[in-house]
Structure 1
């Protein structure tokens, strides 16, 4: 009974935790460049996960193909997605706009999930996906009013699009090739792969200078413990338990939740249009999730 209640609550907990990633990035990026920030984050995560794996004597994958698949998944979900989000925000793209671009993931997933995984996407799911997209646009429309390319360039938008492609491909790849992994050792392999790519990028294109101010330390701690360990584990579990299109639909709730957190933490206004958009998004997600129930 308790396990059933936790399984039912997992999507909501995931959305709440995942939404705080944009907040953590906003707090920490003024003190470190994006891939330098990610390198430090990945190093801390690898150390903590390594200690956890050693203490629990978790089983390592015996199949080298699975190790390779885990590495690819880690590159997509961690290096490319997080690198895209952090890079876009660092280059001046508003966090709301980055969230909106990433919020297109369910539509992109549904467009390719059938041919790749053989999952049927019915008309109710398409209706829910479309309604969710409309809701996301409504939530962020007032926050994006007046936004132009004066403050950022196409390079920033390229990072945001890379994040969208990374998390979409990563979700599909994880579902297709990595569902049999041990969460502890599998996640460690994924972060090691992401670190192996992010470190050379940081060393080549960034100064790797960090200002160890308290906001950066707090943001780093939150992103490591809550996002990299907590939310990612929930995501991998949700992918293992549900269809890829259904899991992807939960991401539609991230921009509205981010808007709520921004209102609570930074005093950003929530207009009636934004509230209506949140309702539309919730209905859209419900249609996608229940269409396959």
Structure 2
């Protein structure tokens, strides 16, 4: 539940941070901040570095961090409604279930029922927020890229590198993601002018710090621990709880709509996750 709450704040952070910085520039500052925080701690604690799996860990990180976050944030910046992006990315548990044999897992009929209930619940929650205004093929493509990237990253890590020291493994993944995103930020956002254009307001600084500590360190550590201990389908089913929790947060913080349909969607999504998780 701690993971669900932390992960759900991602869209709230986007609402606070995107008005003050281009998306890729924000992500580079976020990834760089993680490295500045973790690297001295890792060296001080003499945490073990992985041997023989470094490339696997780095590739999984590029998919989980770079591909997923860049896709969602750029899509929202281009005008993709947050509700629709949440619905598209919310297809991940079903996509993961179809690919479960790749990691030697089977999905039982009751779990398939839970997955279908989960996506129906997400649809009910975001129904009031779905609009086609500002929608483009580019933003749709970026959201689909984020969906595929997150799913592939979860399955790849589950199969090839589920066990590694979270401290050093996280550094490897964020360093690899930083290197991959850097040329895109330079080409598309003209990085130096973009950095000069960053508005260092209290909202932006708060969003950046929360992204570094709560999301990129706290939530990611929990995600990796869950991938290590549970089946990929069960882990990703928890993401069905993200849109309802985010909608509840947005209602409390920004006064956004959260009606009876949203409450019904939250109940259906929770029921779906129970069907998937229950042994």
Greater shift after overlay, 121-130 or 26-35? Answer: 26-35
CA drift of 1:152 comes to 2.9
Q: Which residue of 1 aligns with 2:112?
A: 126
Q: Which residue of 1 aligns with 2:41?
A: 52
CA distance in 2, matches of 1:270, 1:26: 17
TM-score by length of 1: 0.92
SS in 1 for 2:50: coil
Q: Which ranges of structure 1 fall in alignment gaps of 5 or more residues?
A: 1-11
Q: Which residue of 2 aligns with 1:232?
A: 220
1:6-45 equivalences under 5 Å are 12-45=1-34
| CA displacement, residues 38-66 of structure 1 (integer Å, 9 cap, x when unaligned) | 11111110111101111111001122xx1
1:127-166 equivalences under 5 Å are 127-144=113-130, 147-148=131-132, 150-166=133-149
Q: Which ranges of structure 2 fall in alignment gaps of 5 or more residues?
A: none
CA drift of 1:207 comes to 2.8
* 1:203 equivalent among 182, 186, 194: 186
CA RMSD of aligned residues (A): 0.9
CA distance in 2, matches of 1:97, 1:56: 43
Q: Which residue of 1 aligns with 2:250?
A: 262
TM-score by length of 2: 0.96
Q: Which residue of 2 aligns with 1:182?
A: 165
CA drift of 1:18 comes to 0.3
Q: Which residue of 2 aligns with 1:105?
A: 92
CA distance in 2, matches of 1:142, 1:28: 24
CA distance in 2, matches of 1:195, 1:257: 29
Q: Does 1:168 align with 2:151?
A: yes
Q: Does 1:249 align with 2:237?
A: yes
Q: Which residue of 2 aligns with 1:117?
A: 103
Instruction: Count the aligned residue pairs.
Output: 274
Greater shift after overlay, 206-215 or 257-266? Answer: 206-215
Structure 1 runs of 4+ aligned residues shifted over 6 Å read: none
Q: Does 1:83 align with 2:70?
A: yes
Q: Which residue of 1 aligns with 2:265?
A: 277
